[in-house]
Every structure is written in C-alpha cells, then in structure tokens.
Amino acid sequence: MYWTLELATKLEDAPWPATKEELIDYAKRSGTPLEVIENLQEIEDEGEIYESIEDIWPDYPSKDDFFFDEEEY
C-alpha cells in the first residue's frame, strides 16, 4: 500500500466518518483512480470507523506543513 498526496486528496470529500467498505464504495462511485481503491482494500481492520484520511495515512500532510513560519527563522 502506498499513498501520495494526489491519491489521498481523492478522499477529502468522502462521507467521514466511514468504514473501509463505505470508503471503497465512495471511491468506486466517484471515479477515483484504481490505486486509491487498491490501497483501501489493503487496509487490515476489524470493522473500524475512520474519522479522516489521517486515520488511514498518518503521514498525511496538514495545511501547516505547507506554510512558512517567519518567526521560526
């Protein structure tokens, strides 16, 4: 399983919170790339409910990762 920012953003409008099956169904209906569906199918879960993409891909960059903090430098 691999995620890229481009693939992960395809799930931003998913109906969160959602189960793995709901996310797969959403991905199929919305025409996301096959890689997204394959990544979701590879998730091993016990019927978990995911609140956001961060629950699936913990390294998902936040908006803070893209802004330069002038005070820091």
pTM for this entry:
0.79
- 8 Å CB contact between 1 and 39: yes
Kindly write down the DSSP assignment for every residue of the chain, as one continuous string: ----HHHHGGGTTS-SSEEHHHHHHHHHHHT--HHHHHHHHT---SS-EE-SHHHH-TTPPPGGGGS--GGG-
Per-residue pLDDT of the chain (73 residues; tens, 9 = 90+): 788 888 888 998 999 999 999 999 999 999 999 999 999 999 988 889 999 998 988 877 765 555 555 666 5
Would you list the domain boundaries of the chain? 5-59
